[in-house]
Amino acid sequence: MDALIPTIEEGFALPANAKDAFPDLTPMQELEMRANVIKLMSDMTGQPITPSQENAEEAEELAKEMVANPSYKPTFSQYPNETLAMLAGMVAQMNVAVVDDLTELKMYVVNNLIKEVEMAKDPKTRIAALTKLGEIDGVDAFKKRSEVTMKVQTIEEVEKELLETLNVLEQRVIDVEFDEVRADT
């Protein structure tokens, strides 16, 4: 049996190694990619991914480091699959919206601030909660408000208004007599 050799066109640069073939990924993208591969391999082999306590601690340390230092780019290849799967699970769990709409969050904040105002044992806490409540958009108890009214006009209307204003200003002009004084040189 003869070996089949595919026809490769010339003029295409090939990467020197597999590492150079991959695009630059952010740590989050790389983690997601690795987690997808780990999950796929687990599904194909039928072997479940069960992280040990050590894997969980390692994933937690790595997560803390990534949160504390956003520019940190971990070397994921040095960690076992279980640690990466655990880390990806932690990231996925924290990367979910708790509320569907920001109005729900605003309502939650308002309701809890009202509860704090009513339950406060000392005036200092009550005033602090009232201050925060007053700063919420929509409550606006402590916000300085300025309103801008926009009026859409045609060029003719604008010209007419300007001419009226100029005429009013011209009527205010006071004619005075003056003596010309020249500086002696």
- Residue 7's φ and ψ, nearest 5 degrees, are -80, 120
pLDDT tens figures, 65-121: 888 888 888 999 899 999 999 999 888 887 666 666 777 778 888 888 888 888 888
Over the stretch 41-56, which tens digit does the pLDDT of each residue have? 999 999 999 999 999 9
The answer as to whether 33 is a domain residue is: yes
State the number of CA atoms in the 13 A half-sphere of 42 facing the CB.
13
- Say yes or no: 127 and 89 in one domain: no
Instruction: Kindly state whether residues 46 and 109 are assigned to the same domain.
Output: no
Question: What range does the domain containing 51 cover?
Answer: 23-94
Give me the long-range contacts of 169-173 (CB less than 8 A, separation at least 24).
none
What is the band of 142 on the pLDDT scale with cuts at 50, 70, 90?
low
Q: pLDDT value at position 71?
A: 85
- Residue 43 has a pLDDT of 92
One domain for residues 107 and 89: no
Count: domains in the chain: 2
Q: Are residues 53 and 33 in the same domain?
A: yes
Terminal Cα-to-Cα distance of the chain (whole angstroms): 115
Tell me which residue has tokens 């997601």.
32
Does residue 4 lie within any of the structural domains?
no
Q: Do 124 and 83 reside in the same domain of the chain?
A: no
User: Distances from the Cα of 88 to the Cαs of 40, 76, 114, in angstroms?
Assistant: 14, 11, 38
27 in a domain, yes or no? yes
Residues 64 and 28 in one domain: yes
Q: Are residues 76 and 124 in the same domain?
A: no
pLDDT of residue 97: 63
Is the same domain home to 86 and 42?
Answer: yes
The whole-angstrom separation of Cα 63 and Cα 57 is 10
User: Any idea which residue has 């339950």 for tokens?
Assistant: 119
Do residues 63 and 87 make contact, with C-beta atoms less than 8 angstroms apart? yes
Please tell me the pTM assigned to this model: 0.47
